[in-house]
Structure 1
């Protein structure tokens, strides 16, 4: 395993709902490695940061990068309970990620069913924190495969000039 720094910029947070097997939980591993800070109460989510929400109407784009200085939050929950969890809006600027293909062992090959680690890594990449994105997923055996498999869409999303561009790029790749 390569050496990983204990901090990344921007500050990463994980709202841990503990709905999954903690031994397989990518968010828990990120916290153990000091790469993300756990949050256990909804009220502790940074108010001006980006909160990843797969049900959000607004898509994450490079234009959102300035808000990452306030923090980036992944909501770590079970995909089986996604509708229930996101039935209420979370604190922060809620953004959905553009479509990507998962490479984690639980949802390998599924479109948009990303682990918390994949979601955080993709967000960092799109915001032009490419090296930080790599460092984040490098602690997982499959992590760099995520970036390799999604290399072309991630690169195009990263170079987009607007949220509308990201949506158009998403359509080009995924229909």
Structure 2
């Protein structure tokens, strides 16, 4: 399974979760959008369709494509979101990384990829990715109830319903 990250060079390289996982061989870091795998699940915070267990086969066959950029510049860097079809957003989760700890939906790239893997049922791989960070296992613990609920959903609509119930929408 491929996890390919387009790195927009907008972050503090010392704190960058993608670059660390790239050095560890867990992510492939690319600097050109043409290097993203065709047909991959594209993590897109603007997508109306949420990641769900029904995406498992796509993730296994085609992989995950993510954008590593500053949350402050995500709209400017979002050209990646115009290049693919299989866009998915993540449902409500809380960040555990030191930069955005406790902030809802402002996840690091590592957290976003791990959450995707967890939701589609690849929980061991999600745990492995988070194990590279001191705070990583805490991300999974902090969000365990929601991640488990999302991973039991049938499809994107059910994931969104679970999210709505949780946040009171």
Residue from 90, 95, 100 that aligns with 1:102: 95
What is the deviation of 1:162? 1.5
List per-residue Cα deviations over 1:103-134 (Å, max 9, x = no partner). 00000000000000000000000010011100
Gap regions ≥5 residues in structure 2: none
TM-score normalised by structure 1 residue count: 0.91
In structure 2, C-alpha distance between the alignment counterparts of 1:131 and 1:79, rounded to whole Å: 27
In the alignment, which residue of structure 2 is the partner of 1:6? none
1:151 to 144, 149, 163: 144
The aligned counterpart of 2:38 is 47
1:93 and 2:86 correspond: yes
Give the 5 Å matches for 1:49-128: 49-68=40-59, 69-86=61-78, 89-128=82-121
3-state SS, counterpart of residue 6 of structure 2: strand
Cα distance in 2 between the residues matched to 1:95 and 1:164: 12
Spell out, residue by residue over 1:54-113, the C-alpha distance to the aligned partner (whole angstroms, 9 max, x if none): 011211111111111211011000001012122652324111011100000000000000
Residue 28 of structure 2 is aligned with which of 25, 37, 46?
Answer: 37
Unaligned runs of 5+ in 1: 1-9
TM-score by length of 2: 0.95
Tell me if the contact between 2:8 and 2:77 (Cα under 8 Å) persists in the aligned partners: no
Cα distance in 2 between the residues matched to 1:71 and 1:118: 16
CA RMSD of aligned residues (A): 1.1
Deviations 1:118-167 (A, max 9, x none): 00000000010011100001000000000000000000000001111100
Structure 1 stretches of at least 4 aligned residues deviating more than 2 Å after TM superposition: none
